[in-house]
Amino acid sequence: MASTSNQPKATPSADTGSRHPFRTGWTAFAAVLMIFAGAMAIFQGIAAIAKDDVFIATRNYVFQFNLTGWGWIHLILGIVIVLAGCALFTGAFWARAAGVVLAGLGALANFAWLPHYPLWSIVLIALDIFIIWALCAGPGERERV
């Protein structure tokens, strides 16, 4: 007599594919964007450190730092963002959480950088928002059968 069970039978191939961290591709998308945005922040930091007379110095702005100081902030933040983007390829949850936090910090740093180089800052803020969205979209819901 065959036993009847209320539990659906799971096939091994269907179960292993649904647990893959890149199932929907959003994590890979966020990782690539983080590496690109981090590299742009590194270049932004190097430019501010090497030639801080290239950027516009505004007066009476709330976030007044020396441009060389901002350069170091962007350089260090960019390096950490690139490393976190590389860590996202492992599929670790801590890398996803760190990516959201670092992209948020990157957006805040570029918001404060707006008066010095507006177009570059707006592009990086948009990239950081896409990174946060892609990481929060997650690997997706498991399909119900």
Residue 46 in this model has a pLDDT that exceeds 80: yes
Q: Assess contact for 81 and 116: CB atoms under 8 A.
A: no
Most confident range (mean pLDDT) of 43-47, 50-54, 88-92 is: 43-47
Residue 62 in this model has a pLDDT that exceeds 90: no
Number of CB atoms found within 10 A of residue 5's CB: 7
**pLDDT by residue (tens digit) across 97-134?**
999 999 999 999 989 888 878 888 899 999 999 999 98
Q: Which two tokens stand for residue 115?
A: 């008066």
Give the pLDDT score at 53: 61
Number of CB atoms found within 10 A of residue 36's CB: 16
Place of tokens 């490393």: 83
Q: Given pLDDT bands bounded at 50, 70 and 90, which one contains residue 70?
A: confident
Place of tokens 């008066």: 115
What's the pTM value of the predicted model, to 2 decimals? Answer: 0.73
Q: Assess contact for 99 and 135: CB atoms under 8 A.
A: yes
Q: Given pLDDT bands bounded at 50, 70 and 90, which one contains residue 15?
A: very low
